[in-house]
Amino acid sequence: MADEIIVVDTNIIIDFVEKGDETLEEYLKLQKRSRRKLYLSVVTVFEYFSGIDIDKKDLYHESEKLFERFYIQELNETIAKIAASLNFQKKLYRYIDTSDILIAATCLYLDAFLLTKNQKHFKLIPNLKFAPLKV
């Protein structure tokens, strides 16, 4: 049996850090005791750290420690082409930010589930699978 891959969206990370939301903590526990791997798109790394004041050293350091608990998927040519194809075929740029198209393309590339609290516009992307918010 292959490992199940779950790509965690930026909103899950933000809610965990800012509100103490338990969704991410439950998935991190699950990763420790089962064959699930939690990934972040490098786009999520960009989005998250774009919202952090670098002068808040404690928060920045704690965020870096949190991100060490994930596999990070770099953007590559294949992911870019998947995103471009989806964008062209479905005219997604009218409804979804480019960053979210790239995160969805990362899921398709990895054959992964997406863990997000914002399924509404991601549902426009064919063949995208969602991880449940409750485990």
Q: Are 50 and 18 in contact (CB under 8 A)?
A: no
For the stretch 73-118, pLDDT in tens is: 999 999 999 999 998 888 887 889 899 999 999 999 999 999 999 9
pTM score, whole prediction = 0.94
Q: What is the pLDDT of residue 1?
A: 46
Q: What is the pLDDT of residue 62?
A: 94
For the stretch 64-85, pLDDT in tens is: 999 999 999 999 999 999 999 9
Residue spans of the domains in the chain: they are 4-130
Structural domain 4-130, CATH architecture? 3-Layer(aba) Sandwich (3.40)
Pick from 123, 29, 34, 28: nearest CA to 70: 28
| 51 vs 43: CA distance, rounded Å | 13
